Every structure is written in C-alpha cells, then in structure tokens.
Amino acid sequence: MNRHLISAADLSRDDALQVLDTADELARISDRPIKKLPTLRGRTVVNLFFEDSTRTRISFEAAAKRLSADVINFSAKGSSVAKGESLKDTALTLEAMGADAVVIRHNASGAPHRLAEWVRGSVINAGDGAHEHPTQALLDAFTIRRRFGRSSGSAGQAGRGGALDGLRVTIVGDILHSRVARSNVILLHTLGAEVLLVAPPTLLPVAVDTWPCAIDYDLDAALPKSDVVMMLRIQQERMNAAYFPSVREYSRRYGLDSARMAQLPERAIVMHPGPMNRGVEIAAGVADSPRSTVVEQVTNGVSVRMAVLYLLLGGAEGSQ
Amino acid sequence: MAHAQPAGRSGSGKDATARPVPGDGKIVLEQAEIARALTRIGHEIIERTRGAEQVILLGIPTRGVPLAARLAAGIQQVEGHPVPHGSLDITMYRDDLRLRPARALGRTQVPPDGIDGQIVVLVDDVLYSGRTVRAALDALNDLGRPRAVQLAVLVDRGHRELPIRPDYVGKNLPTAQHEVVRVLLTEVDGEDAVLLGVAGDAAGGRSR
C-alpha cells in the first residue's frame, strides 16, 4: 500500500482486498468485552476537519482509539483557521507536534494531496470537496462483500475473501457533488463490480463518460438488474443553481420508495452513505427495511478505518 | 521410509528418503513421530489437568491451529468428552510490528463460553525466542482471565530471549541460531514433517 490514502485509485485490487480482509478480522474485536488492541500505542492520529461531519469523524476517532493511538481532534471552527491561518501553516503546526497520521476533511478538492507534500506522516482523505472519500468506498465495498457472503469470515477460516466480480451496483442521485460516488466507482470497478450511475443529466459531472461505469437516466429500468442500489443525498449546501425543477419532481423520478424497492431482485440491498433526507431520495419505509444496510455501514466504517490505520501505520516506517 | 530416525541423523532429506521434500533440510521428525509426540502431549495434558475437563486448546496461527485441533481430537478419544479448541492470532500484539511492513492478520476464534476460569493451553509449532508466547499472553489478557495458562509446543529449539518455558514439548531440538526449523503439517502444507536446515534453504516455508 501507499503511505497515504488520498484516492480510491491509490488502491490496487490486492491492496483493497487486504484492507477488506483485515477489516473482517478486526470486526470480530467489537464482539469482545475488551474492544482494544495495543497495536498503535504511542502513535498520534490527528483528525483535521475543516467541514462538518458526524459519522466519519467519530468513526475515525473510534477506530484510532481501539488501536490505542492517541487522537487529537481539530475542527476549523474555534481554531486559528478562524483567525485566517492557512492550510500549510496548520499542517506545519501538526508536523511540529509529531502527528503520525492526519485524517483530513476539507471543502476544497485536492487539499489532502497538498497536505501530503507538507507533512511526514500518512495522510488519509476523509472527504475533499466533490472529489473523493476513499474510506467510505472501502466500507461500502466491505458491506456489499459481507451481505453477499464473500468476506473472508464466511468460510469460517481466515484468509482471502472474494472480490465483487459480477455484482451490479447502481448509484443513484447527486453524482455531480458526490465524492462518495467517485470513490465508489473507482473502487468497485477495481474489485470487479459493474457500476451503473443513474441521475438527471444535470447532476452528472462533465467527464463522467471517462469513468469506468455505465450511465442511465431511468431508475425504473435500472432497478430490476441491480444487486446493490446506493442512494445519494441531494447536496443542497453545494448547489448554487437549479439542477432540477422541484424536490418533489426529483423525488418522483429518482427517489427510492417501497413500490420501486419491490422491483429489485430478491437478494438486492439498499445502501446510503448518510446523512439521509428521508422522503427525498429514500422513503422512510425503505431506509428502515431489512434490505437497508444504513446502520451496518456505520458499524463497518469503524472496522474498515481500523484496517486502514493499521495497514498505514502498523508496520515499519517507510516500508510500504 | 524408515521409522524413528534419530534426531542427529545426517544427510539431507533428498538422498535419504524416497519421498521428495520441499526445500532442503534434514528431517528430524516424520509423520509417525509427530503423531506419537502429539499423543504423548495429549496424555500429559490429561494427566496434568486431571482429565482435561476445563481445558481449552488455543492454537497460534498458522500451524498451531491444526496442532490444537489434533490434540483436542486425541484427548477426546481417550477421555470421551469433547475439548474446546480454537485459535489466537497474535499479530496485533507483536513487539516487532514496527520492524517490518504491516502484515495480514490471522483469525482469533475462541469457544463461545469464553476462557474465564478455564485452563488455557497455548499450542504452537516451534518455541524459539519466546516472543510469540509473550504476545499470546498479552492477547489472552484482552480475552478474559483464565485460571491458568500452559504452553504446548511440537518443537523446542532453544535460544530463549524471555523467561518463558513450555509445559509440554514434542521434541527438544538443540539448534544453532543460524539454523532454521520448519514444521510442515498436512492441513497447511500437504504433509507432516519437521525439517532442520540452514538459513536460506527454507524459501518456501515459514522459518523460525
């Protein structure tokens, strides 16, 4: 693996499978009375969050603490950033404090990439603008693998779990503003899944035809041939123009309600990276149905992030 | 192939046997001898723990796990009751993690009733520096509080770096530090054998 995790494209198929297999073993820790491992004792992980986040920040914090790392939480609000400090100066401060890993979320695409040039530790991208969110893609892949019985734990033996070859994943909604969609398209393609994007043409990014996936505009046609449906939130906070006539019309054409869910094949699952807007892209009845993996995704997030932290920080420095 | 070869036998596995052996190195234990050693260890466990009623056998991956399963089967044959067995991965507890690239994790599988109040017998293939066992003791600490912890190994090759000693030994094998002991087990390697070679021989297997 690389020293940093900035894009899902940093992961080869073997790297990705190694993360997922490691996460499979680490997931078993959460069933124990003592949910802690001494592996990263004495290492410092800084959570550098320039943008609001609930689950990603908590998930990274829990993951680092379960591996016994020291965690420093930094949020732009209430820090010197509010006084006008630049990203570089913030980075140099962290460097001076001896951070072994920096988990960064930033509203500007490419911020983690820049940061990686300034700090000695590993940089983990926890979401940059509309660019990428690789650990979300990893936890989604992990969730899919578990639900379809391809994880390394399914045979009762440790070892190599399977990839996602042949599974059909449909990602629906605001692809344009979604870092989750981009990372998922890259990673799921690496793992052999067939990805289909479904969205109104206005919510597709410019060069989407160069992505390794298919594109469709009709959700009803896509559902019967999907093993996984991933619903994305309409990111109103990033929208500075009218991308569709009304929320109600969007919901009619691209929202997943119970009637649409009934068109899915029997084993198909419904995913959502959260936060959900119930009633817009996903109906409450669908979000709470047994097909929905929303809560599982959060649980799996901790295991996957533990795996990433372990693989980036657990071994010898500079050996990866 | 002849039975009960003495340990100090000279000559390599290649010319002394009809069966080809992966890698180079002389055979110090053959299949039948491994089976006998495990039978004896099984009986010693029964004797020392008064019937092995409260015993849990935990193998250390990779090759400790099938050894623990074999011991459990052997004890069950004699005593008539099943002996819980599982595996204890120690990767995350190693003291040399920072010396090498991050490695893949093994499986920890503990019987559902847990290890509290039981006699845990750790099972490994080769006892060398003792660092693996130290890590295993730390790992056990996070799983519960056994009444006692004992250690069973197929081969004790000496050169301890920590104050750790085995309770049950299949074979004491005096070695030099530059030598490499390899244990092959049918479940993992397709055949049973213990080989003693010189560093660099054992490209294909785990060297200890």
pLDDT, tens digit, 9 for 90 and up, residues B84-132: 999 999 999 998 888 888 888 988 999 988 899 999 999 999 999 999 9
Prediction ipTM score: 0.81
**B51/B78 Cα distance (integer angstroms):** 9
Cβ contacts below 8 Å, chain A against chain B, sum to 59
DSSP string, B99-144: GS--------B--TT-STTSEEEEEEEEESSSHHHHHHHHHHHTT-
Of B61, B89, B99, the CB nearest to A316: B99
- Within 8 A by CB and 6+ apart from A294, the residues are A271, A272, A274, A276, A287
Structure confidence by residue, pLDDT tens digits, A109-164: 999 999 999 999 999 999 999 999 999 999 999 999 999 988 875 444 556 788 99
CATH number listed for the domain at residues A134-294: 3.40.50.1370
What pLDDT, on the 0 to 100 scale, is given for residue A33? 82
CA-CA distance, B154 to B175, in Å (whole number)?
A: 15
Give me the pLDDT at residue A156, please: 46
Count Cβ atoms within 10 A of the Cβ of residue B111 and give its class: 0-12 exposed, 13-18 middle, 19 or more buried.
middle
Would you place residue B17 in the very low, low, confident or very high pLDDT band (cuts 50, 70, 90)? very low
For residue A157, list chain B residues with Cβ-Cβ distance below 8 A.
107
| Res. B202 pLDDT band, cuts 50 70 90 | very low
At residue B63, does pLDDT exceed 50?
Answer: yes
Rounded Cα–Cα distance for residues A128 and A106 (Å): 5
CA separation (Å) from A63 to A38, A87, A231, A302?
12, 25, 25, 5
Tokens of A216: 């469709």
The full set of domains in chain B, from first to last, is: 31-175 (3.40.50.2020)
Say if A52 is an interface residue toward chain B (CB within 8 Å).
Answer: no
The pLDDT assigned to A82 comes to 73
| Residue A236, C-beta contacts closer than 8 angstroms, at least 6 positions apart | none
Chain A, window 188-217: residues with a beta carbon less than 8 angstroms from a chain B beta carbon: none
CA distances from A177 to A48, A204, A236 (A): 21, 9, 9
- Residue A95 to residues A105, A117, A121, Cα–Cα distance (Å): 17, 11, 8
Helices (H), A98-191: 111-118, 134-147, 179-190
Cβ separation of B107 and A311 shorter than 8 Å?
no
Residue A280 and residue A272: Cα distance in Å, rounded?
Answer: 13
Asked, colleague to colleague, whether A8-131+299-313 and A134-294 share their fold, the answer is yes
pLDDT in the model for residue B24: 64
Mean predicted lDDT score pLDDT of chain A? 91
Pick A21's closest partner by Cβ from B61, B104, B143.
Answer: B104
Contacts of B107 in chain A (CB under 8 A): 25, 157-158
Q: Do B104 and A22 touch (CB under 8 A)?
A: yes
| Closest chain A residue by Cα to residue B135 | A38
Asked if A25's CB is within 8 angstroms of B108's CB, the reply is yes
Contact A95, A118 (CB under 8 A): yes
Per-residue pLDDT for A79 more than 70?
yes
In A127-166, the residues whose Cβ lies within 8 Å of chain B are: 157-158
**Chain A residue with Cα closest to B114:** A32
Whole-structure pTM value: 0.88
Residue extents of the structural domains in chain A = 8-131+299-313, 134-294
Express as a percent the part of chain A with pLDDT over 70.
Answer: 97
Contacting A residues, span 283-312, partner chain B, CB-CB under 8 Å: 310-312
Q: B23: pLDDT confidence band, cut at 50, 70 and 90?
A: low
**Candidate from B87, B97, B101 with C-beta closest to A39:** B97
Please report the pLDDT score of residue A306 as a whole number: 97
Total residues belonging to chain A: 320
- State the pLDDT at residue A29: 86
Tens digit of each residue's pLDDT (9 = 90 or more) over A284-301: 999 999 999 999 999 999
Q: What's the longest Cα–Cα distance across chain B?
A: 51
Chain A residues in contact with B93 by the CB 8 A cut-off are 37-39
| SS3 state at A133 | coil
The CA–CA distances, whole Å, from B3 to A94, A221, B19 equal 65, 70, 14
Cα–Cα nearest to A14, from A151, A123, A163: A163
Residue A315 contacts B where some CB pair is shorter than 8 Å: yes
Which of B98, B108, B145, B187 has the most A C-beta neighbours within 10 Å, making it the best mutation to test the interface with A?
B98
Q: State whether A38 and B138 contact (CB < 8 Å).
A: yes
Q: Which residue has the tokens 């623990």?
A: B68
- Contact (CB<8Å) B97/A157: no
Residue A278, beta-bridge partner list? A282
Supply the pLDDT for residue A106: 94
Tell me how far apart the alpha carbons of residues A139 and A304 are, in angstroms, rounded to a whole number: 6
**pLDDT tops 90 at residue B58:** yes
pLDDT at residue B16 tops 60: no
User: Cα separation of A84 and A90, whole Å?
Assistant: 10
pLDDT of residue B203: 44
Residue from B88, B91, B107 to probe the interface with A (highest A Cβ count within 10 Å): B107
List the one residue out of A243, A259, A254, A260 whose CA is nearest residue A280: A254
Model pLDDT, residue B208 = 52
Subunit contact B92:A38, Cβ cutoff 8 A: yes
Distance of CA A155 to the CA centre of its chain: 26
What chain B residue is nearest to A33 in terms of C-alpha separation? B143
- Give the pLDDT band (50/70/90) at residue B200: low
Six-digit token pair at A4? 């940093």
Residue of B nearest to A311 (CA): B102
| pLDDT band with cut points at 50, 70 and 90 for residue B5 | very low
User: Cβ neighbours of residue B85 under 8 Å, at least 6 residues apart?
Assistant: B56, B57, B58, B59, B68, B69, B71, B72, B111
Average pLDDT over residues A230-255: 89
Q: Return the half-sphere exposure (C-beta side, CA atoms, 13 A cut-off) of residue B88.
A: 32
Answer whether residue B192 shows pLDDT above 50: yes
Q: What average pLDDT score do residues A11-24 get?
A: 95
The pLDDT tens digits for B29-51 are: 999 999 999 999 999 999 999 99
Best mutation target among A39, A160, A320 (most B Cβ atoms within 10 Å) is A39
Q: Do B106 and A25 touch (CB under 8 A)?
A: yes
Can you tell me the mean pLDDT for A96-112? Answer: 93
How confident is the model at residue B143, as a pLDDT?
92
Q: Verify whether the Cβ–Cβ distance A319 to B101 is below 8 Å.
A: yes
Longest distance between any two alpha carbons in chain A, whole Å: 56
Domain over A8-131+299-313 is classified CATH 3.40.50.1370: yes
Q: How far apart are CA A258 and CA A284, in angstroms?
A: 9
pLDDT, residue A237, reads 82
C-alpha span between B108 and A164 (Å, rounded): 25
Cβ neighbours of A33 in B, within 8 Å = 144
